[in-house]
Amino acid sequence: MNNFGGIIQRAVYLGVGLASYAGEKAGQKFTELRTEAQKLADEMVKRGEMTTDEARRFVEDMMNKAMMQEVPVDSSPETRSSEPRRIEILSEDENLSDSEHPAEVDKMRQEVHKLQEELRRLQKE
């Protein structure tokens, strides 16, 4: 039972560490964004394309937009589709038909069928 408590404690520490790391990375990205936006605004002021007030508002607007953006999360059950994504396979050599290589085509179809069954089995688990 002691070992189980240690595992939970490590999992909590890992979660806190990951959250801290993500926060630091986000802070770095916002700093980089502010620096780049400021450089762009300074360049536009230098060229006379905007005033210093407009440049300040431009940088603030860019930062506000960046902070308001939501990051899409595809791992939540609500956003995940129950069906797999369909993939269309296009052949570069349209001169070949199924009848020219029937053994290879049958083998590929069998492999696709096996993979589909495996996918269905994994989705049920």
Q: In this predicted model, what pLDDT tens digit does every residue of 111-124 receive, in sequence order?
A: 888 888 888 888 88
Specify the number of domains making up the chain.
1
Cβ 50 vs Cβ 58: under 8 Å: yes
Give the global pTM.
0.43
Burial of 87 from C-beta contacts in 10 A (0-12 / 13-18 / 19+): exposed
Cβ 22 vs Cβ 16: under 8 Å: no
- Whether the per-residue pLDDT at 14 is higher than 70: the answer is yes
Domain boundaries, position 28: 2-124
- Which two tokens mark 33? 């964004």
For range 91-111, the mean pLDDT: 68
For range 19-39, the mean pLDDT: 87
Closest CA to 58 of 43, 69, 70, 79: 43
Per-residue confidence (pLDDT) for residue 79, from 0 to 100: 52
d(Cα 10, Cα 101) in Å, to the nearest integer? 56
Burial of 55 from C-beta contacts in 10 A (0-12 / 13-18 / 19+): buried
What pLDDT digit, counting tens, does each position of 34-83 carry? 888 889 889 888 988 888 888 888 888 888 888 787 555 555 555 556 67
With b for 16 or more beta-carbon neighbours within 10 A and e for fewer, the 25-54 pattern comes to eeeeeeeebeeebbeebeeebeeeebeeee
